[in-house]
Amino acid sequence: MTTRDGRRVVVVTGASGGIGRATARRFAARGDAVALLARGADGLEGAARDVREAGGAPLAIETDMADHDQVEAAAGRCESELGPIDVWVNVAFSSVFAPFTQVSPEEFRRATEVTYLGFVNGTRAALERMLPRNRGVVVQVGSALAYRGIPLQSVYCGAKHAIQGFNEALRCELLHDRSKVKVTMVQMPAVNTPQFDWVLSRLPGHPQPVPPIYQPEIPADAIVYAADHPRRREYWVGGSTAATLIANAVVPGVLDRYLAWKGYSSQQTSTVTRRLPPNLWRPADAPPNTDQGAHGSFDRRAKSRSVQVWASQHHATLAAALAAAAGVTALAWRAARR
């Protein structure tokens, strides 16, 4: 499926900043038409400009992903103006950085509605259009925290765990129905995004991603790859994600104690003082001249490459190389024995 002018149609939620913004640029660089869904008007305008400059066709739609009616209307407008949706990428989220007892019921509900139900609303809108055509891909942007909860992020961890369970159940249903519509999930590491500048926080220090920190272009490349190769149930991005998920599967109790010891200090810094208005109830990038782009305040510390991502996308090549290396080693050992 393509647009009327031959472009593929991609929807990216949370597209005004961070991973969503970087992902929209990556799809646009391939010439895709990209529908940009987010709340922030100025951020959306910047994202649309990025898409246009990268070679894509943008359609910016102010949308609160927690509102099913708004999401449904945005999906309808996308298909009306661009054409049938090929790929839907759920990224949008909001959160609160604080101990659980310092998060109000209203704040917890709002963050969950945006982060978890926003994915449910987006997936529903996508499937209502993809299933009758029996084709299309939904990419859920997850996190290592979809498996491993950490202190000070009970809201976010709970929502990401919920998304993980929801996506697994949905995938089983699609497999049962032998549908050609695919869903896959991409589990993210700590990423340098504006989230840490505008998240509602009650921490004494400035919130920061748990190091190592990655630039958002690395997850963006992984999302595009997952959209092209959706048969795999999920992808891991970054060595820290792989290490966290493996450790949690093997020694979860040890990880509990390690995070109780280090989890508070590793998520705060005194070296960053820049703060933006919290975006839980209203977007921080709505007024003029508030567009934050894809990157946050940690450019100097963020990695721009990940060997693990390449390896996860080239299992066959890596296996062949390891087999060849093992064969050469065995021949050399035999020759030495002679």
Q: pLDDT, tens digit, for every residue of 228-237? A: 999 999 999 9
Q: What pLDDT shows up at residue 322?
A: 47
Answer yes or no: are the C-beta atoms of 129 and 79 closer than 8 Å. Answer: yes
pTM: 0.91
Which value, to the nearest 10 degrees, does the dihedral of the CA atoms of residues 318, 321, 325, 331 take? 140
Cα separation, 231 vs 223, in Å, equals 13
**139: pLDDT strictly greater than 80:** yes
pLDDT the model gives residue 243: 96
The answer to whether 15 and 38 have CB atoms below 8 angstroms apart is yes
- Closest CA relative to residue 17, chosen from 300, 216, 258, 302: 216
Q: What per-residue confidence (pLDDT) applies to 107?
A: 98
* Closest C-alpha among 6, 39, 9, 14 to residue 216: 14
Q: Quick check: 270 pLDDT over 70?
A: yes
What does the H/E/C string look like for the chain?
CCCCCCCCEEEEECCCCHHHHHHHHHHHHCCCEEEEEECCHHHHHHHHHHHHHHCCEEEEEECCCCCHHHHHHHHHHHHHHCCCCCEEEECCCCCEECCHHHCCHHHHHHHHHHHHHHHHHHHHHHHHHHHHHCCEEEEEECCHHHCCCCCCCHHHHHHHHHHHHHHHHHHHHHHHCCCCEEEEEEECCEECCCHHHHCEECCCCEECCCCCEECCHHHHHHHHHHHHCCCCCEEECCHHHHHHHHHHHHCHHHHHHHHHHHCCHHHEECCCCCCCCCCCCCCCCCCCCCCCCCCCCCHHHEECCCHHHHHHHCHHHHHHHHHHHHHHHHHHHHHHHC
Give yes or no for a contact between 106 and 21, defined as CB atoms under 8 angstroms apart: no
Tell me which amino acid residue 251 is. Answer: V
**pLDDT above 60 (res 326):** no
Tell whether the torsion through CA atoms of 269, 275, 276 and 278 is positive or negative: positive
Average pLDDT (146-157) is: 98
Q: Dihedral of the CA atoms 58, 63, 65, 66 (nearest 10)?
A: 180
Q: How many whole angstroms separate alpha carbon 329 and alpha carbon 338?
A: 14
Q: pLDDT tens-digit profile of 309-322?
A: 656 665 565 455 44
- Report pLDDT for 60: 98
Average pLDDT value for residue range 295-301: 96
Question: Phi, psi at residue 61, to the nearest 5°?
Answer: -135, 115
Where residue 225 falls among pLDDT bands split at 50, 70, 90? very high
Is the confidence at residue 324, as pLDDT, over 60? Answer: no
